[in-house]
Amino acid sequence: MRCVGHIVRIRSGNVNRRAAGWPGRCSRGILARMNDYLPAPDRYGRTPYRRCGRSGVQLPAISLGLWHNFGSVDVHDTCRAIARTAFDNGVIHFDLANNYGPEPGSAETTFGRILREDLGRYRDELVVSTKAGYGMWPGPYGDHGSRKYLVASCDQSLRRLGLDYVDIFYHHRPDPDTDLEESMLALDHIVRSGRALYVGISNYNAADTRRATAILRELKTPFVIHQFCYNLLNRNPERDGLPQTLLDLGLGGICFSPLAQGLLTARYLSGDIPADSRAGRGGFLKPSAITPELLTRLRALDAHAKERGQTLAQMSLAWLLSRPGVTSALVGASRPAQLLDSLGALSNADFTADELTLLDRLSGVCP
């Protein structure tokens, strides 16, 4: 844990290549040699930052999630290259959860190694988030929303990440059996004990978001953000009124699976399922989801993206970022080129009313 902190101290205000090679001693007495990675000096001119409500938290318009592609089964050099590409382009927000892998927990371990190798010296520039709420270890205290689970899981995450604190700690999903007050008090405790700077919730509907906000505001907990699934193929948040609720409450909104796990890209347009794709590898995206009807809609969306001079991924992200209540689009990537493609979305973010009507129709929102 302190190893990373030590690197930050000896690197502070000093980014020259010679210093980058100096060894540092971490708290366990192991010599840690820093490599020669130097991030792009113009990285802060490449990605706009958007504020979560009126809080001090500003996130890149596109953030990087480590749900897939950063597990112990993945090639470390590729993980490292994706993370470096992100930081070089101003993508300073890295999103994790206790259970990301596979195996569960290994994405945090991988990112902890990337921090030690490359990014830890820039800790004060990074926004690192993690979560707890899904099953992580056996027994009644390895899942859901009890105070015991959330605090213990946060400690485990910090150990795997090698960090003293995370920037944002989320309750990953609502727990119908635990009093909301207990889960929210646990989030408050996690901040007050120094384990996190801010808290968020994820997968809560609009009504529960209002209830959670009321509790956390009373506690004066720095609750700043909601993480939810929203994309051109999933307009449910609009039906629930969640984006407007976030605006009303002054909360940030970060949208996960903005590319519908790769469906809103060129990945599956031919009708084939590439062996190295998420659907091909047997991940959360099932080949059975890629129906002929869906392919017809995706191809129509792709044709419109081409008219705009964008890839399907870029148009999908640009659309999402134009929606009210959306602070950041939280993408995944299995290689650096995908992230670079996604970042290209930011160069054409305007839609005419006719385009929005067309996209609504292709989204299935209107006939």
Ligand X SMILES: NC(=O)c1ccc[n+]([C@@H]2O[C@H](COP(=O)([O-])OP(=O)(O)OC[C@H]3O[C@@H](n4cnc5c(N)ncnc54)[C@H](OP(=O)(O)O)[C@@H]3O)[C@@H](O)[C@H]2O)c1
Q: Which residues bind to ligand X, rule: CB under 6 A?
A: 65-69, 95, 172, 202-203, 227, 256-262, 265-267, 277-278, 313, 330-334, 338, 341-342
What is the smallest separation between the CB atom of 255 and ligand X, expressed in angstroms? 8
Nearest residue to 125 via CA among 43, 67, 50: 43
What is the smallest separation between the CB atom of 297 and ligand X, expressed in angstroms? 16
The residue assigned the tokens 């969640």 is 242
Give the up-direction half-sphere exposure of residue 286: CA atoms within 13 A in the CB hemisphere. 3
**Ramachandran quadrant class, 147 (left: phi over 0; alpha: psi -120 to 50; beta: rest):** alpha
Round to whole Å and give the CA distance between 223 and 251: 8
Specify the residue, 106 or 342, whose C-beta has the smaller distance to ligand X.
342
Specify the residue, 69 or 221, whose C-beta has the smaller distance to ligand X.
69
Specify the residue, 85 or 203, whose C-beta has the smaller distance to ligand X.
203
What is the smallest separation between the CB atom of 206 and ligand X, expressed in angstroms? 16
Specify the residue, 250 or 287, whose C-beta has the smaller distance to ligand X.
287
Specify the residue, 47 or 265, whose C-beta has the smaller distance to ligand X.
265
Specify the residue, 184 or 333, whose C-beta has the smaller distance to ligand X.
333
What is the smallest separation between the CB atom of 257 and ligand X, expressed in angstroms? 4
Round to whole Å and give the CA distance between 288 and 355: 29
Round to whole Å and give the CA distance between 68 and 155: 22
Q: What angle do CA 108, 258, 73 make, to 5 degrees?
A: 35
Specify the residue, 203 or 245, whose C-beta has the smaller distance to ligand X.
203
φ, ψ for residue 169, nearest 5 deg:
-115, 125
What is the smallest separation between the CB atom of 232 and ligand X, expressed in angstroms? 11
What is the smallest separation between the CB atom of 262 and ligand X, expressed in angstroms? 3
The residue assigned the tokens 């307009």 is 235
What is the smallest separation between the CB atom of 26 and ligand X, expressed in angstroms? 28
Specify the residue, 8 or 266, whose C-beta has the smaller distance to ligand X.
266
Q: What is the 3-state secondary structure (H, E, C) of 236-249?
A: HHHHHCHHHHHHHH
Round to whole Å and give the CA distance between 32 and 318: 41
Round to whole Å and give the CA distance between 340 and 144: 35
Let me know how long the chain is. Answer: 367
3-state secondary structure of 332: coil
What is the smallest separation between the CB atom of 34 and ligand X, expressed in angstroms? 27
Task: Provide the residue type at 264 as one letter.
Answer: L
